[in-house]
Amino acid sequence: MSDEAYDPCPLCGRPLVPGRSVNLHHLVPRTFGGKKSFPIHKICHSKIHSLFSERELLKVYHTWEALRGHPEIQKFIRWVARKDPEYNSSNRRAHRRKR
Within-domain flag for 16: no
Q: What pLDDT band is residue 88 in, cutting at 50, 70 and 90?
A: confident
Question: How confident is the model over 16-64, as pLDDT tens digits?
Answer: 999 999 999 999 999 999 999 999 999 999 999 999 999 999 999 999 9
pTM of the predicted model as reported, rounded to 2 decimal places: 0.84
Distance CA 78, CA 99 (A): 28
Closest to 78 (Cα-Cα) out of 70, 94, 56, 37: 70
Q: For residue 40, is it within any domain?
A: yes
Measured CA to CA, the distance from residue 62 to residue 47 in angstroms comes to 15
Total domain count, the chain: 1
Does residue 66 belong to any structural domain of this protein?
A: yes
- The arithmetic mean of pLDDT across residues 64-87, rounded, is 96
Task: Determine which of 6-15, 18-27, 87-96 has the lowest per-residue pLDDT on average.
Answer: 87-96
Note down the domain range covering 27: 22-80
Residue 65 in any domain: the answer is yes
CB 85 within 8 A of CB 39: no
Mean pLDDT of the 77-96 span: 79
